[in-house]
Structure 1
Amino acid sequence: MGHITKSSWVPSVPLRVNAEGVEPAALLLGADGRVRGDADMVFEGQPVHPSGAVRHEQASLVLALHEVEADVERIVIAGVADGGALTALAPDGATVASYAVPGSPDATAVVFAEFFRESGGWKFGGIGKGYGSGLAGLVTEFGVEVAEAEESSEPAAAGPVPLAGVVKMPGQAPPADGAVVPSGPFPPADGAVVASGPFPPAEGAVAPGGPFPPLDRPYELVEGWEFGPVFEPFTILGDDDQVVTVDGRVPPGPVLVEAAHEDRGYFGVFPLDRRNKDGDYLFNTTLPDFTGSSVVPAPTGRALRLRVRADRRWVMRVKPVAAARRLQGTLRGYGPEALLYTGGVADLQVNFEGNEDGGGYVGLWCHEVAGRTGLTDRPTLLLNRTHPLRRTVPLPAGPLLLLFKAEGPWTLTVKELD
């Protein structure tokens, strides 16, 4: 079973965590030892954390420790069991940590172990604490809100024990405290060229494109949309990693950021907080010929700084939120996109095709923006999955700002209800 350890350093790489015969769950905890919201619990019924750093896949957990938000101090691993053996594997299959918990007749759920920050890295520590109140009682201790589970007369199925006994309240994804994301026109970084359209392709390279509208599409505002400041758009080009400082030409408030990354490779955009540390990512992808958009707040009282990580050339354009695409009829896209909905109560059909490997993440957050000047603190989480799908989700009446995240091509069709 590999080595058994009470506490040890682990590499900050994606780790696959298995608990033999158990469907594991992860709880992402802040400095106070509690989750920030129900979205900080990842398990079979809620398989992806909004940050994308923790996922439930095939009866195991994948922890991308290098992508975990700065506000998360500990990741606790639990499951419905009276004991068992937990193992953490590196990408090459090597065991980096493991811990065995003896079975207890009084326990119906157990905290196996935890991953915690120390001296700029991550350590693994065994815990082995059982709970007679089941998983619902266990997660409540860490601040997760649960609803009563309905009793079933069906016999328990053989195989891995599901996370029965925990019925999630409506999923909502809180933002990280103090996280600020891009806004405002960037002055060009040294050597960067500001242009009115997307960059020309390098010799032999394919320029960013696909079904997402190009960054030089006409400047248009959705009629009647009142959320976010209005200003002239701008474009900045870059190559490889850069830190960009935003000036004050854009008023504080939500703005639209469109981006494209040339060819293949990694592309990420991270706002820097007051301490010059990364906040929640704006873009974090390896999609080829990436294009995407999102909506984020321009801060008040200080310049916004963005850290861009890129393997190839990239372009970003900042516009008013009212310049985002409007969701009506059928739309097709590729990658994350911010969409505006101004219709009535409707059903939204989502067709996500997945990535090149047949998987990929898809998520949808809904901000009800009527009468608001900033993003909703706790947007409604409508979709959160890690595989291709066809699904219908309900939409309330607009005006809505929909933040759609997808690692591949997608089609959205909205059908208003009578």
Structure 2
Amino acid sequence: MIKGGNAFVPTVPLRVAVRNGLDVSALLLTEQGRVRGDGDIVFHGAPVHPSGAVRLLGDAHGTAWLEASLTAVEDEIVRVLVVGSTEGGAMRNVHGLSVESFAPDGTSVARYEVTDAGGETAMVLAELYRRAGGWKFRAVGQGYVNGLVGLVTDHGVDVADAPPAPAAAPVQTPAPIQTPVPFQVPAPAPVQAPAAAAAPFQVPAPGPVPFQAPAPAAPAAPFQVPAPGPVPFQVPAPAPAAAPAPAPFQVPAPGQVPAPAPAPVSMQAAPAPVSAQGPPQPAPEVPAAGHWSYGAVFEPYAQSGRDNDVITVEGLPPGPVIFELAIRGDGYTGLWPLTRFNKEGDNLISSCEENYRGRVLTQVPGSGRLRLKLKAEGPWQLRVLPVAAATRLTEEELEGGGPDVLLHTGGTADLVIQYRGDDYLKVNFYELAGHDDPTALPEEENVVSEVGKRREAVPLPEGPVIVQLEYADGPWRARLKGLQPRSGPSNDDGMASVTDIRTAQGRSWWSRS
């Protein structure tokens, strides 16, 4: 599996092997991407989650083992991060760095070899996450130069700056785990909730910590991060953050000489299809009369570049917009909106498709300044478009490939979708009738959530309705059947205004026919 790749895994107790010689921990995250408290951190001082669903099993011959009983994970938890960290050197110095997941019969169900590690001292190696009623494994490979402290802080852990706790008396280490096939999954032992609140997360002194079996009656030892030591190599200096360093602790800077920053990638804005001007200026909103009365119309913004970048577009009207992206390459494609604190929001694109192309919905904040983090390998082109520029659904068949944003403006109908991809298909409706806030989308209605090739027919309410193909890594066809006249007064001018907007702004640079 390559970086960014993902695959479904069986919803059974899995064993995860992390090689070689890393300290391993796990973070159990909610939909907000954060832990609920110290109890959601599984590490050497607290090797079993209170639910019993995730536990450390010890290590043997440089391989650390983690068990995740997916059927026992609490409903509130949507992601389990597998984290590796070093005590002195960098991840790039770890030979044979990999993470692999095994089913109960010893079959390998997912494997990821990290080949691009650098000066990081901690890394999210992989994650297990809920999808379409099951679980998937994703190869992440996201490193942190500021170590485990920076990693866990990003996921809601409050790291207390306290002196290291005295080392506990060693207990007998479990017998080394042999080859992973075959093995029997032990029944999880009942875990008694601690009587007192969990100890705060603390920065510890470095040094090996013997694996200790959990004592049900005693409180868990504080989660500790090795103090940085001398580093015999150069680490690139991290880019200055827009937000202040997280409180409430200070991490001593390691004695290292930053390497020169890489030369910036040259970027040139491609001419927009409608106007060659720079960032778009808001245009008058579509008149309230007729079939379309939602959102502001503005001139599209276009840009081209290559590989990873941060995209900034100024002067957009607040509210939902369409982000259109095409990449020539065969690597991982990822897209995240950035908050005002320069933190990643919910993932908009996560694909390993060759020559990715797609349209997604994103939200422009009240400031009118849209910022997105793009991860790409190869040359790319992008456009930011108003929602009114979405391709309109009709009774004629529409062909596409990848995520897209479609618009239904007629009466009630049935939406027919034929999907030829092998991965996840997710389709959402946003019913705009009666929704009078153009700065935010109404609540989404998920109508399709399936995996693999299929034909779906779902009833559509009267328009206007935004139809979002949120996940669709593969070719698809869509059309309306049984289209009925609108129940309200007809207004041809309103319908024409939608068509004129789409025509004036041009079609995508890839063919849809």
TM-score of the superposed pair, with normalisation by structure 1? 0.53
TM-superposed CA distance for 1:62, in Å, is 2.0
Give the equivalent residue in structure 2 for 1:389: 454
Identity of aligned residues (%): 31
Name the amino acid aligned to 1:367. Y
Among 286, 295, 302, the alignment partner of 2:352 is 286
Give the equivalent residue in structure 1 for 2:425: 362
Give the equivalent residue in structure 2 for 1:318: 384
Give the alignment of 1:196-275 within 5 angstroms: 196=271, 224-248=291-315, 250-275=316-341
Cα offsets for 1:59-84 (capped at 9, x unmatched): 9732327499x99879xxxxxxxxxx
Give the equivalent residue in structure 1 for 2:437: 372
Q: Are the structure 2 counterparts of residues 39 and 365 from structure 1 closer, same or farther at C-alpha, using a change threshold of 3 Å?
A: farther
Report the secondary structure of 1:322's partner residue. helix
Give the equivalent residue in structure 2 for 1:402: 467
Cα offsets for 1:90-131 (capped at 9, x unmatched): xxx969x99632599xxxxxxxxxxxx999xxxxxx99xxxx
TM-superposed CA distance for 1:324, in Å, is 1.2
Give the equivalent residue in structure 2 for 1:303: 369
Name the amino acid aligned to 2:297. V
For 1:13 and 1:94, locate their aligned partners in 2 and report how far apart those are by CA, in whole Å: 23
Give the equivalent residue in structure 2 for 1:341: 408
For 1:118 and 1:402, locate their aligned partners in 2 and report how far apart those are by CA, in whole Å: 48
Among 56, 60, 64, the alignment partner of 2:138 is 64
Q: Are the structure 2 counterparts of residues 39 and 260 from structure 1 closer, same or farther at C-alpha, using a change threshold of 3 Å?
A: farther
TM-superposed CA distance for 1:377, in Å, is 5.1
For 1:73 and 1:413, locate their aligned partners in 2 and report how far apart those are by CA, in whole Å: 44
Name the amino acid aligned to 2:409. T
Cα offsets for 1:188-218 (capped at 9, x unmatched): x9621222369xxxxxxxxxxxxxxxxxxxx
For 2:202 and 2:442, locate their aligned partners in 1 and report how far apart those are by CA, in whole Å: 30
Kindly indicate whether the alpha-carbon contact (under 8 Å) linking 2:416 and 2:458 is maintained by their aligned counterparts in 1: yes
Q: Are the structure 2 counterparts of residues 288 and 65 from structure 1 closer, same or farther at C-alpha, using a change threshold of 3 Å?
A: closer
Relative contact order (alpha carbons < 8 A, sep ≥ 6): 1 or 2 greater? 1
For 2:375 and 2:472, locate their aligned partners in 1 and report how far apart those are by CA, in whole Å: 19
For 2:378 and 2:4, locate their aligned partners in 1 and report how far apart those are by CA, in whole Å: 24
Q: Are the structure 2 counterparts of residues 408 and 73 from structure 1 closer, same or farther at C-alpha, using a change threshold of 3 Å?
A: farther
For 1:39 and 1:344, locate their aligned partners in 2 and report how far apart those are by CA, in whole Å: 40
Give the equivalent residue in structure 1 for 2:186: 100
Report the secondary structure of 2:186's partner residue. strand
1:192 aligns with 2:267: yes
Report the secondary structure of 1:350's partner residue. strand
For 2:265 and 2:420, locate their aligned partners in 1 and report how far apart those are by CA, in whole Å: 39
For 2:184 and 2:202, locate their aligned partners in 1 and report how far apart those are by CA, in whole Å: 19
For 1:342 and 1:313, locate their aligned partners in 2 and report how far apart those are by CA, in whole Å: 35
Q: Are the structure 2 counterparts of residues 39 and 336 from structure 1 closer, same or farther at C-alpha, using a change threshold of 3 Å?
A: farther
Report the secondary structure of 2:468's partner residue. strand
Give the alignment of 1:29-44 within 5 angstroms: 31-32=35-36
Report the secondary structure of 2:358's partner residue. strand
Q: For structure 1, which runs of at least 5 residues remain unmatched after alignment?
A: 1-10, 42-51, 75-92, 105-116, 120-125, 128-188, 199-220
TM-superposed CA distance for 1:264, in Å, is 2.0
Report the secondary structure of 2:388's partner residue. helix
For 1:323 and 1:244, locate their aligned partners in 2 and report how far apart those are by CA, in whole Å: 21
Kindly indicate whether the alpha-carbon contact (under 8 Å) linking 2:424 and 2:473 is maintained by their aligned counterparts in 1: yes
Cα offsets for 1:145-204 (capped at 9, x unmatched): xxxxxxxxxxxxxxxxxxxxxxxxxxxxxxxxxxxxxxxxxxxx9621222369xxxxxx
For 2:309 and 2:266, locate their aligned partners in 1 and report how far apart those are by CA, in whole Å: 11
Name the amino acid aligned to 1:62. K
Report the secondary structure of 1:101's partner residue. coil
The worse-fitting range, judged by mean Cα deviation, of 189-198 and 225-234 is: 189-198
For 1:305 and 1:320, locate their aligned partners in 2 and report how far apart those are by CA, in whole Å: 16
Q: Quick check: which one's strand share is greater? A: 1
Aligned length: 270
For 1:305 and 1:53, locate their aligned partners in 2 and report how far apart those are by CA, in whole Å: 28
Give the equivalent residue in structure 1 for 2:163: none
TM-superposed CA distance for 1:344, in Å, is 1.4
Give the alignment of 1:120-135 within 5 angstroms: none
Name the amino acid aligned to 1:305. R
For 1:240 and 1:98, locate their aligned partners in 2 and report how far apart those are by CA, in whole Å: 45
Name the amino acid aligned to 1:392. A
Give the equivalent residue in structure 2 for 1:54: 129
For 1:288 and 1:195, locate their aligned partners in 2 and report how far apart those are by CA, in whole Å: 22
For 2:356 and 2:202, locate their aligned partners in 1 and report how far apart those are by CA, in whole Å: 35
RMSD (Å), alpha carbons: 4.6
Give the equivalent residue in structure 2 for 1:350: 417
Kindly indicate whether the alpha-carbon contact (under 8 Å) linking 1:369 and 1:375 is maintained by their aligned counterparts in 2: no
Name the amino acid aligned to 1:394. P
TM-superposed CA distance for 1:408, in Å, is 0.3
Q: Point out 4+ residue stretches in structure 1 off by more than 6 angstroms.
A: 33-39, 70-74
TM-score of the superposed pair, with normalisation by structure 2? 0.44
